[in-house]
Structure 1
Amino acid sequence: MSKLRSAMQKGKRSTLTMAETTKTPRKRTKEAVKKEEPTNPCTPTTYHTFHEPASVLQIQKKLLNWYDKEKRELPWRTVVKMTFILHKPDVNIRTYAVWVSEIMLQQTQVATVIEYYNRWMKRWPTVQDLAAASLEEVNKMWAGLGYYSRGRRLHEGAQKVVTEMEGQMPRTVDSLLKQLPGVGRYTAGAIGSIALGEVSGVVDGNVIRVLCRLRAIGADSTSSAVTEALWTLANTVVDPERPGEFNQALMELGARVCTPKAALCGQCPLKTHCHSYRKSPSTQGDIEDCPTPASCTLCPTEPWLDDLGVHNFPRKPAKKAPRVEQTLTCVARRPSEDGEDEYLLTQRPNKGLLAGMWEFPSLLLDEENSKVKQKGALCAEVGRILGVEVNKDLLSYVGEVVHIFSHIHQTYIVYSVSVEDEHATEETQSEKLQWLTRPALLEAAVSTGLKKVCLHHCYISYRSSCHSTPSSRPQRKHETLFHKDVQISA
């Protein structure tokens, strides 16, 4: 056993404690409770902390034993493991691999990330490979993963590592935080602990849920008081010998056992250490509550509900309603030499929503207006892009397509036009404008919203063509496939 663990067992590891390591008796007089109250109301009581070193050691051991048996084999974990098994501890490869995975996993489920991660690492296995790629290539690889600024920041970070840091990834949590764009407190802690072995805790959505339930923290989990308390807890409980695996175990527990709405408490290795579990009526637990709930910044302001059990925690504020936007979109197409339609795409600005991605000619709709005005505005925009005059009578209304971003409820009001002006059909390809066939469009650096618009346009066009021919079962089958495509891309 290491000196560090011995110090913890003796209660001497002051950096890992949040309060005095004194055991509190089960029953206390009112005078004793009053003396125990913190002088600073913002200081958590021992009820909300990991104040006993022996308990911390038990949590570490139980959680890591569970993780060793139950962990999922994920590609980024394999990269880290193999660098050690093969006795090739290439810190750059490990750090880069974990960095990519952590950025991809921000606001995105593991199942979705795996395919993207494998394709990314196959194409750009090192930070030097990524730095040499173009932003267009990165956007194309990222298309469909969402939160597109993440890919751009990975690319910017790789170029910075190569040009300003001699190709060497940062080696500490602090340097990761300061030197890599898009890397915040959590990401730096995750990369530092997993790839570099730094003893640093992490706090993400899964960890918030686990820690809030373990220590019965019921105040708003987004408040500064709770956030700082959770970081202190995470840094207190992280295993100093296996920090990366411990942090992954804590996140894995939140993802698979201590879930938001259907916690599997019977399978949890930490249930005997969990205040919320022991408070649940089904356990008939005998556990004290916080001695100073009125002044405690971590206690809930709402009463405990027995029927919710551990799901009482964490408490979150009501989500802010997404901003509602409407965008006029024109699907402009022209026939190619081989007879297949090509679609006009323009590139978005390099900053802001969907930066650098490709889209159909579009205009943000500031206010409700008639279809005549909408057609006029889109004709002017398409004409400006192509340098020709577009007759608004040629525009056809296609319909509306809804796409939900994290903070925007977007409705695309879709029109289409066939561009047959001989000047417009000349070669107009440029850095900010291109004509693509439908298969090429769906493979390009375009958003999921644009793919939905494209597929919806194809579906409506197919429906229209069916009306001019006798109906048949194969046609109805094809309609279903078009409809299925639109749903899949949602």
Structure 2
Amino acid sequence: MSQLRAAAAAARGLRRSRAVRSPEKSRKGAAPRGGGPAPAPAQPPARHLFSDAAEIEALRRNLLAWYDKCKRDLPWRTLAASEPDVDRRAYAVWVSEIMLQQTQVATVIDYYNRWMQKWPTLQALAEASLEEVNELWAGLGYYSRGKRLQEAARKVVSELAGRMPRTAEDLQKLLPGVGRYTAGAIASISYGQATGVVDGNVIRVLCRLRCIGADSSNPAVIDRLWDMANALVDRSRPGDFNQALMELGATVCVPKAPLCEQCPVKQHCRARRRVEKELALASQRLLGTCLPVPDVEDCSVGGCPFCPPATEPWDSSLGVTNFPRKAAKKQPRVAWTATCVLERRGRCGALEYLIVQRPSSGLLAGLWEFPSLPLALGLQEEKQREALADHLRAWTGWPVAAGGLRYVGEVIHIFSHIHQTYVVYSLPMDGDVTLDPALSPSRWVTEEEFHASAVSTAMKKVLKACKKQCGEQNGFGKGSKRKRGAKPGGASSCPTGTQLSLHAFLRAPSPQ
């Protein structure tokens, strides 16, 4: 009888192994070329997986106990724990997760509090204008996130009767801008759905817990990490468990100099065990007692899909930070833009600046900026001036001369995928300038109004550079020496009322 049971168990195991879905097939929805069956993905050795039920239970227990004791007091956690209305609770979590994408917690807190104070419900956000959303979002970066958040809120109000989807699958399917991670976070924290989450912090923790040295950006590896996260999540406290896993990666299992001695799950960490093994082997080699005995922790599997490539040996100086391995970062593309700060004196004597609105799609969509013109790489400075002057003449209708543009300097701003250099000029205007609305919406603003508008951090840098050079030329600020690399331009437009000498006024611009 026992032999029959063993045979039946083996058959069930075989059926399960054949039923493992192919990540590529599930994403593409089609079989590989040739019409044959999709090949099963390579199964990682057991050392890379969580297969011991007792260990999983112990890990959950230890991690949650640590989280209850050490978690940070964050406003979205307070709202999620205290808000009785499930839709408002889900909205509160949703806003936090969108803001936290590629933005540090310390930066998000103030933005989050102001957002929830202004738009405490989905309905309030749906009624806001995109201009208001951009103004509050300004400085958070990745501005399309705020736009998509509002679009999704309007869809919930207009098409879903104000009721948030209740599962991770529906959240991802029905709401624009909500991906697999955000959907899992909302569903587990707000609705108690037992679904895992995988973000950068979770990837790092899982890769170290199970010595995963393969490229963590590889889709097949990501799919395996999702399987692991779904297997680990605590069924009774899924939201807390997911937050605990992310909290561990954010505060203890950090990218560099992790606090391994403070880790609540260090006894489950195979990367730590690997470090200890390597130290012991190094000590044995030093004493001349090292024996070639195979280690039970080693894969012993050639071409393991979770192990580091053979070309990347263990670096003892890195310790557990040998994991995870990341693909080489793609270099950002280089872009140059000529930007002009147009100035005038307003009715009350205050200095005002002309800003124009960017297109409603693309980089920094809908934000306001100083009149700007993309430049071809390697363009000579004289040609840059002429191109910008032509651009301003077409916009303003004023006879803008290239020599009248005062060179301010270069401002560098790094976007996620663009290394952007702004070549900054300024130009004083004696009267009003109204741009053709068909070209771009525009308005004159004071410095206070400028900072309250939906302007990017890059444009704030531009204005700061302009004001700094102006102050230095008039003896303000730290010293009066001109910044190295600054080039003289045309007439000064500094808002100081200082009159230029006749010599300076008639002096021709220096050749560029």
> Which TM bucket (shorter chain)?
0.7 to 0.9
1:317-371 C-alpha deviation (Å, 9 max, x unpaired): 1111111111010111111111111111111111110000001111111132333
Q: Does 1:49 align with 2:59?
A: no
Match of 2:130 in 1: 135
Cα contact 1:48–1:290 (8 A) shared by 2: no
What code does the residue aligned with 1:66 have? W
The yes-or-no answer on 1:267 pairing with 2:286 is no
Give the whole-Å Cα distance in 1 for the aligned partners of 2:274 and 2:105. 32
2 CA distance for matches of 1:249 and 1:257?
11
Quick one: distance in 1 between partners of 2:209 and 2:243? 17
Q: Which residue of 1 aligns with 2:89?
A: 94
Which residue number in structure 2 is paired with residue 397 of structure 1?
Answer: 407
Q: How has the CA–CA distance of structure 1 residues 196 and 478 changed in structure 2, closer, same or farther, with 3 Å as cutoff?
A: farther
CA displacement, residues 51-109 of structure 1 (integer Å, 9 cap, x when unaligned): 011111111000000000000010000001112xxxxx211111000000000000001
* 1:41–1:295 contact (8 Å) kept in structure 2: no
* Alignment partners' CA distance in 2, 1:159 and 1:258: 38
> Number of matched residues?
432
Rounded to whole Å, the distance in 2 between the matches of 1:109 and 1:479 is: 37
* Counterpart-to-counterpart distance in 2, 1:90 and 1:221: 38
Aligned with 1:461 (options 470, 473, 478): 470
8 Å contact from structure 2 (residues 45, 301) kept in 1: no
Q: Secondary structure at the match of 1:412?
A: strand
How far, CA to CA, are the matches of 1:415 and 1:403 in structure 2? 16
Q: State the secondary structure of the residue aligned to 2:474.
A: helix
Q: Offset of 1:429 from its aligned partner? A: 8.5
Deviations 1:163-187 (A, max 9, x none): 1111111111011101111111111
Aligned with 2:250: secondary structure? helix
| Residues 406 and 257 of structure 1, relative CA distance in 2, 3 Å threshold | same
Who is 2:230 aligned against? 235
How is 1:242-321 mapped onto 2 (pairs within 5 angstroms)?
Answer: 242-281=237-276, 288-301=296-309, 302-321=312-331
SS, match of residue 174 in structure 1: helix
What is the identity, as a one-letter code, of the residue corresponding to 2:296?
A: E
Other structure's SS at 1:170 match: coil
1:173-252 equivalent positions in 2, closer than 5 A = 173-252=168-247
Counterparts of 2:17 and 2:324, CA distance in 1: 20
- Aligned AA (2:465): H
| 1:428 positional shift | 8.0
Structure 2 stretches lacking a partner, 5+ long: 1-12, 19-38, 282-293, 484-512
Distance change in 2, residues 1:427/1:405 (3 Å): closer
Equivalents in 1 of 2:480, 2:42: separation in Å?
61
- Preserved CA contact (<8 Å) 1:281 1:309: no
Tell me the CA shift for residue 204 of structure 1: 0.4
CA distance in 2, matches of 1:426, 1:335: 15
Name the counterpart of 2:364.
354
**RMSD value over aligned CA atoms?**
2.4
Paired residue for 1:82?
82
CA contact (8 A) 1:322 1:409 kept: yes
What TM-score, normalized to structure 2? 0.80
Is the aligned partner of 1:120 residue 2:115? yes
Amino acid at match of 1:379: A
**Residues 194 and 334 of structure 1, relative CA distance in 2, 3 Å threshold:** same
Work out whether 1:433 is the aligned partner of 2:433: no
Letter in 1 for 2:400: V
Report the alpha carbon displacement of residue 45 of structure 1 after superposing the two structures with TM: 1.7
CA shift, 1:315, in A, is 0.4
- Aligned match of 1:335 in 345, 362, 379? 345
Asked if structure 1 preserves the Cα contact closer than 8 Å seen for 2:435 and 2:441, the reply is no
Corresponding residue SS for 1:280 = helix
Q: TM-score normalized by structure 1? A: 0.84
Q: 1:447 aligns with which of 448, 456, 462?
A: 456
Matched with 1:30 is: none
- 1:378-423 alpha-carbon deviations (Å, 9 max, x no partner): 1222222223332223211111011111111111001111122x4x
Identical pairs, percent? 54
Q: Which amino acid aligns with 1:419?
A: M
Structure 1 CA distance, aligned partners of 2:240 and 2:400?
Answer: 61
For residues 229 and 304 of structure 1, the distance between their equivalents in structure 2, rounded to whole angstroms, comes to 23
Contact 2:354 2:370 (8 Å CA) reproduced: yes
**SS, match of residue 162 in structure 1:** helix
Aligned equivalents of 2:85, 2:479: Cα separation in 1: 51
Question: Is the radius of gyration larger for structure 1 or structure 2?
Answer: 2
Amino acid at match of 2:348: D
Give me the whole-angstrom Cα distance separating, in 1, the residues matched to 2:408 and 2:458: 15
Tell me which amino acid in the other structure corresponds to 1:184.
G
Alignment of 1:465-484 (within 5 A): 465-466=474-475, 475-476=476-477
Amino acid at match of 2:255: P
8 A contact 1:18–1:50 mirrored in 2: no
Q: CA deviation at 1:197?
A: 0.7
Name the structure 2 match of 1:170.
165
Mean CA deviation greater in 368-377 or 119-128: 368-377
Residue 376 of structure 1 deviates from its aligned partner by 1.9
Give the distance between the partners of 1:426 and 1:225, measured in 2 at CA: 55
Task: Tell me the equivalent position of 1:370.
Answer: 380
Question: In structure 2, what is the equivalent of residue 58 of structure 1?
Answer: 58
Structure 1 counterpart of 2:142, from 147, 151, 156: 147
Shift of 1:18: 9.2
- Judge conservation of contact 2:207–2:213 (CA < 8 Å) in 1: yes
Query: Is the 1:212–1:218 contact (alpha carbons within 8 Å) kept by the matching residues of 2?
Result: yes
Retained in 2: the 8 A contact 1:281–1:306?
A: no
Q: Distance in 1 between matches of 2:299 and 2:461?
A: 55
Deviations 1:419-451 (A, max 9, x none): 22x4x4469899711111111111210000000
Asked whether the 8 Å contact 1:210–1:258 carries over to 2, the reply is: yes
Aligned-pair distance for 1:40?
5.9
CA contact (8 A) 1:335 1:342 kept: yes
Deviations 1:224-266 (A, max 9, x none): 2211110010000000000000000000000111111111111
| 8 Å Cα contact 1:328-1:414 kept in structure 2 | yes
Kindly state the Cα deviation for residue 456 of structure 1 after the two structures are TM-superposed.
Answer: 0.5
Secondary structure of the structure 2 residue equivalent to 1:189 = helix
* Partners of 1:332 and 1:417 within 8 A in 2: yes
Distance 1:287 1:249, change over 3 A: farther
Q: How far is the alpha carbon of 1:462 from its aligned partner?
A: 1.1
For 2:334, what is the secondary structure of its paired residue? strand
What CA distance in whole angstroms lies between the structure 2 residues aligned with 1:191 and 1:427? 45
What displacement does 1:279 show?
1.3
CA contact (8 A) 1:258 1:265 kept: yes
Letter of the structure 2 residue corresponding to residue 268 of structure 1: C
